[in-house]
């Protein structure tokens, strides 16, 4: 690979956000999948609304707000116990099975590897520690440092400057189509990790490559 830096989004790319379904089911039987889907949907929507309104709100607070909405939307009640347990589950998300092996391979090849996420460090660092990923990454970078959510141009500009690389020296991977579109718009080469076989959303900002899990990256 020709790139100086390979960047990975976190949620949905490295970590399975729908790990929370199990915890949701414990408190809201037969509604766990729906709650998880709505939770993630509103989490993204609230982050984008925050960016558009130029009114930054910490991603953890947006995650809490999104959870409350999702539970209300399925006609259930949030309790202090359920809220604490489900938010805690976000700090224990499963790592996709192929991630460690692929990261180790790329690290061995000498690539600079970093996480670039909308999540704040106080949410991401525990996940990295829980899965013992720290030795595989050169940096973990959060937009919380500049309070500009992806897919804003400012967010991608920030990470390129921080890593001291030009935009054409970066390969960016994400499972989120809007994130891929934003990175492509900025000038990064992009790989859409289309784990769920979604239909493309941004045909004018086509990713350089589409894969269905990270093992395809090194084939």
Parallel, antiparallel, or unpaired: how do β-strands 5-8 and 15-16 relate? unpaired
| DSSP string of 98-153, one letter each residue | THHHHHHHHHHTT-EEEEEESS-HHHHHHHHHHTT-GGG-SEEEEGGGTT--TTSH
User: Is 9 annotated in the active site?
Assistant: yes
Which tokens in the block code for residue 203? Answer: 């045909």
Number of H-type helices and E-type strands within the chain: 8, 8
- State the Cα–Cα distance between residues 20 and 16, nearest whole angstrom: 9
- State the Cα–Cα distance between residues 63 and 26, nearest whole angstrom: 19
Enumerate residues 6+ apart whose C-beta is below 8 A from 23.
Answer: 32, 85, 86, 89
Indicate which residue of 9, 16, 144, 179 is catalytic.
Answer: 9
Enumerate residues 6+ apart whose C-beta is below 8 A from 85.
Answer: 23, 26, 27
DSSP category for residue 53: T
Active site positions, annotated: 9
């Amino acid at each position: 690979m020709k790139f100086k830096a390979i960047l990975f989004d976190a949620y949905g790319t490295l970590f399975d956000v729908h790990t929370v379904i199990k915890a949701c089911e414990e408190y809201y039987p037969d509604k766990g999948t729906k709650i998880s889907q709505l939770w993630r949907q509103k989490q993204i929507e609230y982050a984008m609304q925050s960016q558009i309104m130029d009114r930054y709100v910490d991603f953890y607070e947006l995650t809490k707000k999104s959870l409350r909405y999702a539970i209300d939307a399925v006609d259930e009640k949030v309790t202090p116990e359920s809220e604490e347990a489900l938010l805690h589950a976000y700090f224990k998300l499963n790592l996709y099975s192929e991630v460690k092996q692929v990261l180790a391979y790329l690290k061995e090849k000498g690539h600079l590897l970093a996480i670039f996420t909308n999540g704040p460090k106080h949410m991401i660092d525990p996940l990295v520690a829980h899965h013992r990923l720290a030795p595989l990454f050169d940096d973990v970078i959060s937009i919380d440092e500049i309070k500009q959510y992806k897919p804003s141009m400012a967010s991608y500009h920030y990470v390129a400057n921080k890593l001291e690389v030009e935009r054409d020296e970066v390969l960016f991977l994400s499972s989120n189509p809007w994130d891929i579109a934003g990175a492509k718009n900025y000038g990064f080469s992009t790989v859409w990790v289309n784990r769920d076989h979604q239909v493309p959303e941004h045909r004018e900002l086509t990713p350089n490559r589409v894969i269905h899990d990270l093992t395809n990256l090194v084939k």
